[in-house]
Amino acid sequence: MKLKKTTIGVSILTATVLAAGAQAEPKTNMMHQWAQGSEAAAIAKLGEMFEAAGGTWEQTAISGHTSNTLAKLRSDVVAGNAPAAVQLKGPEIAEWNATGATANLDDVAAAEGWDDVVAPELTSVMKPTGSWVAAPMNIHRVNWLYSSPKILNELGLEVPATWDEFNAACDAIIEAGYTCIAHGAADWSDATTFDSVVYGMDADLYRRAFQEADVDAMRSQGMIDAFAQLRKMVGYMDDGINGRSWEQSMTMTMTGEAAFFLMGDWTVASANLAGFKEGEDYLCNQTPVNWGGNGFILNADSVVFFNQNDPDYVEGQKLLASTIMSPEFQVTFNVAKGSIPSRTDVDLSVGGFTQCQQQGLADLKASVDEGTLVRSMAHNMTVLQKYRGAMMEVITEFVADDSITPEEAANQLADAVELQG
């Protein structure tokens, strides 16, 4: 659906915010973990728009794991110096909201009609107790399979739709002398792959194990089977994964060195930034599912706002929230990030969105209709970080150590979660 003509632009929102703030001069310091590549370029656009709307922009980029950002945030809050805005998502939003530290955005949300335009899958996450405390920036799809047209065409292969088809394709690809799966050694990358494996083999198991942290589900035969599939996939990877970044893994598929790459849609942004062409250098399809239909593993970036005493920062929060939720930013940011807008009234057929992004939106809607939508464990959208971290450690150890059996891994997964209490 195209943007409505009645949509208020950032400039009008800015005037409203400034009028409400009287003498306050809006400013912010946003804490996030987008320190490089297409992600850094995307967040830079937010800063540019915030400043163009009259605000003073500062940012604190925390490189590395989500746990690094959370550690810095906890330290600042304990010291009485809570940041004005922080990139957080999933259960962490609810956890911080429960402490009473988050700011209430209901006035801004009501004035701008957020409830009418934000994707329903996100509203409960942004409003953990009924009030808006966070502004969603986008919707990412985690379960994308990127394929090399060069290799598939040479070998006469189709993009696999099931895991059996995937394994058969990999056997043929390895036989032909190519690497089947491009992969890098990082715990979140291993977990991203396992997200798609568990989900594609049994969506109900995924919900019970990864969304509800059901340890019985983790010890089940279904989870053992999923680890067995992951073991096969490790065998389809090359020996150079240690120290390889996800961008380097992506390039292996884009250049025809490897056939497949499993990663979220931020890959689209990085591939385009590197000059690779969709349809020519890579294809994008959902990762295999044994149950048919459309699948969507959802990840979403959002900005959570923390209580402030300085009027300038309070007004900066209002301006930043308005900027994030403006259709202009949602287009600019998501074209740069490879994701799709959190607003449902943005037309993806214009503005520079790729066919992969447009397909992602279509698949999201189909997944909602079919009841197959899930949120991503690997990307911190389901269980608390302590459970996620424990599970990721088990998954990564399994990838690195082929002496661990699938049965042992399933039990270790459950044990790790139980130890967290």
Return the axis-axis angle of helices 221-235 and 187-201, rounded to nearest 10°: 120
Q: How confident is the model at residue 23 (pLDDT cuts 50, 70, 90)?
A: confident
Asked if 302 and 325 count as a contact pair (C-beta separation under 8 A), the reply is no
Q: Is the pLDDT at 420 greater than 50, yes or no?
A: yes
Q: Is the pLDDT at 14 greater than 80, yes or no?
A: no
Q: Is the pLDDT at 192 greater than 90, yes or no?
A: yes
Look at residues 232, 231, 270 and name the one whose alpha carbon lies nearest to residue 252.
270
**Two structure tokens written together for 405:** 């059996």
Q: Is the pLDDT at 245 greater than 60, yes or no?
A: yes
Q: Is the pLDDT at 6 greater than 50, yes or no?
A: no
Tens digit of pLDDT for each residue in 388-406? 999 999 999 999 999 999 9
The average pLDDT across 59-71 equals: 81
More confident residue, 258 or 3: 258
For residue 104, give the DSSP letter: P
Tens digit of pLDDT for each residue in 375-384? 999 999 999 8
What pLDDT is attached to residue 65? 66
Main-chain dihedrals φ then ψ at residue 319, nearest 5 degrees: -65, -40
Of 63-72, 186-195, 220-229, 284-293, the least confident: 63-72
What pLDDT is attached to residue 7? 41
Q: Give the Å distances, CA to CA, from 180 to 198, 316, 398.
A: 20, 48, 19
What pLDDT is attached to residue 421? 81
For residue 401, give the DSSP letter: -
What pLDDT is attached to residue 299? 96
What pLDDT is attached to residue 10? 47
CA 56/CA 50 separation, integer angstroms: 7
**Two structure tokens written together for 59:** 């940012």
Q: Is the pLDDT at 103 greater than 80, yes or no?
A: yes
More confident residue, 157 or 38: 157
The average pLDDT across 212-228 equals: 98
The average pLDDT across 210-229 equals: 97
Buried-state track 101-139, b at ≥16 Cβ within 10 A, e below 16:
ebbebeebbeebebeebbbebbeebbbbeeebbbbbbbb
The average pLDDT across 225-249 equals: 96
What pLDDT is attached to residue 26? 97
pTM: 0.88
∠ CA 185-186-190, rounded to 5°: 90
Asked if 402 and 234 count as a contact pair (C-beta separation under 8 A), the reply is yes
The average pLDDT across 112-141 equals: 95
Q: Is the pLDDT at 78 greater than 90, yes or no?
A: no
Asked if 18 and 327 count as a contact pair (C-beta separation under 8 A), the reply is no
The average pLDDT across 178-196 equals: 96
- State percent of the chain over pLDDT 90: 83
Torsion angle defined by CA atoms of residues 383, 389, 395 and 397, in that order, rounded to the nearest 10 degrees: -170
Tens digit of pLDDT for each residue in 141-161? 999 999 999 999 999 999 999
More confident residue, 9 or 152: 152
Burial of 60 (C-beta count, 10 Å sphere; 0-12/13-18/19+): middle
The average pLDDT across 110-117 equals: 96
**CB atoms < 10 A from the CB of 163, how many?**
21
Q: Is the pLDDT at 15 greater than 90, yes or no?
A: no
Q: Is the pLDDT at 362 greater than 70, yes or no?
A: yes
Q: How confident is the model at residue 24 (pLDDT cuts 50, 70, 90)?
A: confident
More confident residue, 39 or 335: 335
**CB atoms < 10 A from the CB of 179, how many?**
24
> What amino acid occupies position 228?
A
| Mean pLDDT score of the chain | 92
